[in-house]
Structure 1
Amino acid sequence: MTLLEPIVPATILPQRVLLLENSRAYVRAVAQAIEHKLELPVATASSLAEARALLDRHDDWFLALTGLVLADGHRDDVVNCLLGRGLSTVVVTGVYDEGLRQRLLRRRVIDFVLKDNPGSLDYIVWLVKRLDRNRRISALVVDDSASARAHTASLLQTYGYRVVQAGDGAAALRVIERDSTIRLAMVDDAMPGMHGVELTRRLRALRPRDRVAVIGVSGRDDSDLVARFLKSGANDFLRKPYSREEFFCRVSQNVDQLELIGSLQDLATRDFLTGLPNRRHFLEQAERMVPRMREAGRPLAAAILDVDHFKRINDGWGHEAGDHALRAVAAELSTHARPGDLVARFGGEEFCLLVPDLADGPLLDYFEALRRRIEDLDVPSPNGFLRMTASIGVRTAGANDDLHRLLADADRRLYLAKAGGRNRVVAAG
């Protein structure tokens, strides 16, 4: 059964980082790096008294980075103050003490970082970034042992993940099917009914490697088990018992890899300037959508939208203003589009749409409303507010139309809209 539902994230997550350290030079370097690279607000304190005052003044704390040498507080007082307020805490110190490190990690301090190590500043920035992003990710823990499941879930929650638990493979598959926010699955092997390897294989049929990272887990000393997990679709494997730090590094490495793949996919499928899907991605999706809609007998329309006199905008207002104008049009298209619509920037000042399940009057109303949204835009620029209009050509799919014919006819009607005076929709010959 599912034991925990994913926590619904707040609309605005706490952002403020507390940096508690008596070295002004180090505070300045860390604060500047976090604010510049991550755009998170940093509040600094050089004493425990200052830190308490800051904590009392604000309630939107996300994380604390703290040293252990302060004039007005023993290191245990510092840690007790931060953990006692439920604040996620990373210790940053210049002295390595293995006993102290182990004791603090047992107290759910997130990490113990030596600040004098080469690369420690880069590591701290990465760590803060990782912990910030974790709050938007759900992780699934699958294990028939309640104690093992709770331990893994607790570790993931310490690092900020929203956690869902399942006690067997069948429950895990149900959770995966209904929760699209899950990006990580920790799968134990030895479970009744469906072993972890089989669950991994079935999970892969629901979510590919670029959507969910699967980490197999087992306490068995079986040299073949790792290979079976990996060949069934797992991204990685952890053998019990594992240390907290190994757990965090493995999990973070796999989630980082997912995000890297997502970034590369965005580069391949999204227009850099506007953030809309690009021409290539649109055509790939549309090639599948057009025959599917035709076979189902559902109405489908293609449209090409062109910003009127765009060359005049670039020549008269400058190319930066032209970029602002294109981004503004793209934002209106994204806002206006319904969930099932396909929208893309085709190139230059031209955009393309595929709109299903609208015909005749409602279809014309849809595009007239879009035209008016663009006409009503006031785009700020250094020289004042820029106004613009757009022309739209629309073609409704017939029984034998393919994508090429749809787009070609929409383009001809765009030409008619331009020839007819611009700032208009032409949806018929």
Structure 2
Amino acid sequence: MSARPVAAYPAPATPALPQRILLVENSRAYTSMLREAISQRMELPVSVASTLAEAANLLDHQDDWFLVLTGMVLADGDRDQILDFFTARKLPTIVVSGVYDEELRKRALQQQIIDYVLKSTPDSIDYLVWLVQRLERNRRISALVVDDSPSSRSYIGSLLESQGFRVSAVADGSSALRLVEGDQSIRLVIVDQEMPTMDGIELTRRLRQLRARDRMAVIGVSGSTDASLIPRFLKSGANDFLHKPFSREEFFCRVSQNVEQLELIGTLQDLATRDFLTGLPNRRSFLEQSEKFLNGNSGNMAVTVVMVDIDHFKHINDSFGHEAGDQALRAMAHVLQAHTRPGDCSGRFGGEEFCMVLDDADPASSLRHLEQLRQAVEALEIDIDGRPLRMTISIGASRRSPEFPNLHKLLGEADRHLYLAKAGGRNQIRGLEAG
């Protein structure tokens, strides 16, 4: 499908993240399996080198490097040279070894290597792919370290940065609360217990008042031997606890486990609230959001409820096939989402019907906005095996008033105006003409 939606409210551009992965390994069979697994499951570009010289040539002539996975047996370098080569270039690196060597493992982890993985284990390919996926996703997550000790703060921050997180660090609980309150992207907080003014347990309790467990993970840390600290942290809202000193491997495993749990909860919530085809809020979620908005603004009459229907959708399915119908629905959802402003609600009501709640000061503003939406859909062109698919929409709207005070009545009135738009020739807006 190729569609050209007209987005009135485009999402802000985000900086491009490095994507390229370098595999350095002398075993062609293992390299081939690992490269194929990463490429298939992640669709990231993978380059391969069998020597340090080849790796140097690739690194010098290409940029956009995200991660290195290197073996420890190469023709032009021993294990020390291999470790020094990549750590000197400050590239995130995973060591993949054919045999377990405790001395090598300790040295690798001391040199800021992300992980030490045995390729001889049956699930090494699956683990490495999971590890690459975890590191790639971490780059979109912000983490906060709260510790009054500069050295501890710096150490934990460096561990998180090596795992790809965007890291902030503060020395006290008050600063942490201000930061979390103002930054919704913070999904992970590492909290030390021993801090002046506000200890870690009290900070955890206050953090939970700002952000629920399913939105942000809090991990308490302490060097104290007090056995009551763990249950006190957990009862105050922490997701986990780590005793100081902890190893890099333990820290990585605990952090990854907690972040994965957040993502799993988010996935389950999306399955319950998102329409599987379009990604928009489903009918139940839209109704819940709209009810909450209307109840929270009971005295505000500057609200418009909108029903949107794709014209002649059955003809699209009959002429182009049901897969083309799904593409049309996804394209429609993309345009609708682009025209859902902060403060508005939108969702898929069912079938080819979509719905919106607009928070506008006057009917003329709502009408202008809906006309932009109508024109944007009319301008779409979807390529279906060389055949252009175009579509239009009919829109019915109702304005909140003493006669239509609640969502049920507003939807009923919007649906009535949608019927009038259909009966009047389609590709038009009804319900706001008087405004």
Which category describes the TM-score, using the shorter chain as reference length? over 0.9
Are residues 1:320 and 2:323 paired? yes
Distance 2:362 2:271 in 1: 34
Q: Tell me whether 1:238 sits opposite 2:242 in the alignment.
A: yes
Cα deviation, 1:81-116, whole Å, max 9, x if unaligned, reads 222212110000101110111011101011110001
Deviation at 1:195, TM superposition (A): 1.0
- Choose from 386, 389, 392 the match for 2:392: 389
Where in structure 2 are the equivalents of 1:139-218 lying within 5 Å? 139-218=143-222
Q: Which amino acid aligns with 1:64?
A: V
Instruction: Output one character per residue of 1:240-273: Cα deviation in whole Å (capped at 9) or x when no partner.
Output: 1111100100000000100111111111111111
- Structure 2: distance between partners of 1:399 and 1:169: 48
Q: Which amino acid aligns with 2:15?
A: T
TM-score when scaled to structure 2? 0.95
Tell me what 1:104 maps to: 108
Cα deviation for residue 180 of structure 1 reads 1.0
Question: Which amino acid in the other structure matches residue 281 of structure 2?
Answer: P
Is 1:35 the counterpart of 2:43 in the alignment? no
Contact 2:301/2:400 (CA < 8 Å) preserved in 1? no
Q: Distance in 2 between matches of 1:269 and 1:362?
A: 29
TM-score by structure 1 length? 0.96
Shift of 1:274: 0.6
SS across alignment from 2:22? strand
How many angstroms does 1:10 deviate by? 5.8
The structure 2 residue matched to 1:398, chosen from 397, 401, 417, is: 401
Is it true that 1:63 corresponds to 2:67 in the alignment? yes
1:52 aligns to what? 56
1:352 corresponds to: 355
The code of the aligned residue for 1:319 comes to H
Distance across 1 between alignment mates of 2:184 and 2:89: 32
**Aligned alpha-carbon RMSD (Å):** 1.4
SS in 1 for 2:184: coil
SS in 2 for 1:290: helix
User: 1-side partners of 2:365 and 2:184: how far apart?
Assistant: 32
Distance 1:355 1:380 in 2: 31
What amino acid maps onto 1:252 in structure 2? S
Does 1:305 find its partner at 2:308? yes
Q: Which runs of 5+ in 1 are unaligned?
A: 1-8
Paired position in structure 2 for 1:82: 86
Structure 1 residue 298 displacement after superposition? 4.8
Secondary structure (helix, strand or coil) at the match of 2:279 reads coil
CA distance, structure 2, for counterparts of residue 221 and residue 51 of structure 1: 47
Structure 1 residue 360 displacement after superposition: 2.1
**Aligned equivalents of 1:293, 1:204: Cα separation in 2:** 26
Tell me whether 1:291 sits opposite 2:291 in the alignment.
no
Give the 4+ runs in structure 1 shifted more than 4 A: none
Show the counterpart of 1:373. Answer: 376
Distance in 2 of aligned mates of 1:389 and 1:229: 56
Higher relative contact order (CA 8 A, sep 6+): 2
5 Å matches for 1:6-17? 11-17=15-21
Q: State how far apart, in whole Å, the 1-side matches of 2:178 and 2:367 are.
A: 41
Q: In structure 1, how many angstroms separate the alpha carbons of the residues matched to 2:242 and 2:79?
A: 33
1:207-265 CA deviation, whole Å, 9 max, x = no partner?
A: 00011100011111111110010011000000111111001000000001001111111
Distance 1:160 1:298 in 2: 47
Alpha carbons 2:367, 2:432 under 8 Å: kept:
no
Give the Cα separation in 1 of the matches to 2:231 and 2:196.
Answer: 21
Give, in whole Å, the separation in 1 of the partners of 2:49 and 2:246: 35
**CA deviations over 1:285-334 (Å, ceiling 9, x no partner):** 11111122232x35000000000010010011100110111111111111
Who is 1:3 aligned against? none
Give the Cα separation in 2 of the matches to 1:124 and 1:197.
Answer: 36
Q: Is the Cα contact below 8 Å between 1:94 and 1:116 reproduced in 2?
A: yes
Q: Partners of 1:34 and 1:163 in 2: how far apart?
A: 26
Distance 2:14 2:408 in 1: 44
Relative to structure 1, the CA distance from residue 428 to residue 339 in structure 2 (aligned partners, 3 Å threshold; closer, same or farther) is closer
Secondary structure at the aligned position of 1:303 is classed as strand
C-alpha distance in 1, partners of 2:324/2:103? 59
Change (3 A) 1:156 1:428: closer
Q: How far, CA to CA, are the matches of 1:380 and 1:155 in structure 2?
A: 47
CA distance in 2, matches of 1:199, 1:323: 48
Q: Distance in 1 between matches of 2:266 and 2:336?
A: 23
Q: Which digits, 9 at most, give the CA deviation of each residue in 1:54-103, with x for residues without a partner? A: 10111110000000101111222222222221211000010111011101
- 1:131 is matched by which residue type in structure 2? L
Q: How many residues align?
A: 421
Looking at structure 2, the residues matched to 43 and 10 of structure 1 have their Cα atoms a distance apart, in angstroms, of 25
Which deviations, in whole Å up to 9, do the C-alpha atoms of 1:102-143 show, x marking residues without a partner? 011101011110001121111100100111111111111111
- Per the alignment, in what secondary structure is the counterpart of residue 297 of structure 2? helix
Contact persistence 2:142–2:165 (CA under 8 A): yes
Pairwise CA distance, 1:358:
3.7
Q: Among the aligned pairs, what percent are the same residue?
A: 59
Distance 1:420 1:159 in 2: 59
TM-fit CA distance, 1:425: 0.3
Contact 2:364 2:432 in 1 (8 A): no
Please say if residues 90 and 109 of structure 1, whose CA atoms lie closer than 8 Å, have aligned partners that are also in contact: yes
Deviations 1:380-405 (A, max 9, x none): 11151101111000001013610000
